[in-house]
Amino acid sequence: MTAMNGYVLIDKPKGWTSFDVVNYIRRMVQQNGLDIAELKPGENRKKRFPAGHTGTLDPSATGLMVVLLGKYTKRAMELTKLDKTYDVTMTLGKASTTGDQEGDITEVSELVPTAEALQAALVKFTGDIMQVPPAFSAMKVNGQRAYKLARAGKEVVLEARPARINANVLQSYEYPIVNFSADVSSGTYIRSLVEDIGRELGTGAYMSDLRRTKVGAFSIGDAVDVQYMTPSELQRRLKRL
């Protein structure tokens, strides 16, 4: 049997964590003996099969995950640094405590920006920018995850850090809903980008939906919904660089 070394492209559904996806694929490999070629004679098959991914998606987000299997998990850092593209939906006129639809939503402004003003804001936040990560993020503050401190009601102060926005392309606009695509560097926070655009417009904004469509040269069009993955499909779709 061919060793399960490589990557598989997964379309993550809403409600699943990135860990859920990786663990689902890992269990499929182990429960169906697909990792048997990885084992040395006499080695315990219950040993945890190595699996990982190249970038976390929030549970409320959907889209492309590159899941690494076997020896390919050693290439995680290399592949994590790839640029990413997202389809973004943002809602104007309101703000969220978490920057997305999961937080407490409050009214900010009834101002209705023109399409021209919106386009100008999208253009302004392209290129190399400084970005403050959301308080509800996995960034560490004094050794603790920022989101844990924020959930405990503690003040979270994060420093601005460099990010690169290759392009923001407006797809549609019908107030208060804006749809645009964002091609960004690894480590860019789309929630922060949306909040920055909302401040620039003077209306406030929060990210109401997010779908990742590309990771480097990998595309969502080549991915399969994890819920429809089968052992035979996994073997068929396993790729190597």
Q: What is the DSSP letter of 226?
A: G
Identify the active-site residue in 11, 20, 35, 58.
58
Number of domains forming the structure of the chain? 2
Indicate if 176 and 98 belong to the same structural domain: yes
In this structure, the answer to whether residues 47 and 109 fall within a common structural domain is no
Query: What CATH number should be reported for the domain holding residue 163?
Result: 3.30.2350.10
Are the beta carbons of 203 and 108 closer than 8 angstroms? yes
Q: Is the peptide bond before 176 cis (omega within 30 degrees of 0)?
A: yes
Answer yes or no: do 72 and 140 share one domain. Answer: no
Could you list the pLDDT tens digit for every one of the 241 residues in the chain?
457 899 999 999 999 999 999 999 999 998 887 775 555 655 555 667 899 999 989 888 999 999 999 999 999 999 999 999 999 999 999 999 889 998 899 999 999 999 999 999 999 999 999 998 775 545 555 555 545 544 555 555 567 789 999 999 999 999 999 999 999 999 899 999 999 999 999 999 999 999 999 999 999 999 999 999 999 999 999 999 8
102 and 59 in one domain? no
Cβ-proximal residues to 185 (8 Å cutoff; 6+ apart), any chain: 83, 84, 163, 164, 165, 166
Q: Domain check: are 160 and 107 in the same one?
A: yes
3-state secondary structure 119-132: HHHHHHCCEEEEEC
**CA–CA dist 240, 9 (Å, integer):** 11
**Which CATH number is 15's domain given?**
3.30.70
Contact criterion met (CB below 8 Å) for 124 and 130? no
Nearest by Cα to 33 from 69, 73, 4 = 4
**Does 1 fall in a domain?**
no
Residue 199: give the domain boundaries: 84-215
Which 3 state secondary structure label does DSSP give 21?
Answer: helix
Residue 71, domain member (yes or no): yes
Label residue 210 exposed, middle or buried (CB < 10 Å: 0-12, 13-18, 19+).
buried
Give catalytic status of residue 83 as yes or no: no
Do residues 58 and 16 lie in contact, with contact meaning Cβ atoms separated by under 8 Å? no
Same domain, 101 and 206: yes
HSE (side-chain half, CA atoms, 13 Å) at 177: 8
